[in-house]
Amino acid sequence: MHSDERRTTALVEAARAGDADARDTLVRDHLPLVHNIVGRALDGHADTDDIVQETMVRALAGLAGLRDPSRFRSWLVAIAMNGIRRRWHEHRRAPVPGLDRAAD
């Protein structure tokens, strides 16, 4: 295990135990990664920040369910990808604004 993985594992375990500083550090350390992934997937769309925030909130809320703390990074990426897919799915099903009036 690399030193970054050991550090992240220790942070996850501390955050699970209620250490607010560890939670803050996890967010600070991984926020650029999540923002980069979501921003590229959405090509800089305005929803990027919303999905990044949702990803981080879901990750922190779900720390207890993470089976292997050393897999935090890949787990976080999976949460971000699920948020991206949800956004794509919601926008595909949403009506196109003005299209109903164009038919008239």
Q: For residues 80 and 74, give the distance between their C-alpha atoms in angstroms, rounded to a whole number.
A: 10
Main-chain dihedrals φ then ψ at residue 22, nearest 5 degrees: -65, -40
Per-residue model confidence (pLDDT) at position 97: 56
* Cα angle, residue 80 at apex, residues 56 and 44 outer, rounded to 5°: 100
- The tens place of each residue's pLDDT in the chain, 104 residues long, gives 678 889 999 999 999 999 999 999 999 999 999 999 999 998 878 889 999 999 999 999 999 999 999 999 999 999 999 999 998 888 776 555 554 554 44
Per-residue model confidence (pLDDT) at position 99: 46
CATH number belonging to the domain at 3-94, selected among 3.40.50.720, 3.90.600.10, 1.10.1740.10, 1.10.10.10: 1.10.1740.10
Q: Where exactly are the structural domains of the chain?
A: 3-94
Q: For residues 90 and 84, give the distance between their C-alpha atoms in angstroms, rounded to a whole number.
A: 10
Q: Are residues 51 and 84 in contact, defined by beta-carbon separation less than 8 angstroms? A: yes
Residues 6 or more apart whose Cβ sits within 8 Å of residue 33: 73, 76, 77
| Backbone region of residue 43 per phi and psi (left: phi > 0; alpha: psi in -120 to 50; beta: other values) | left
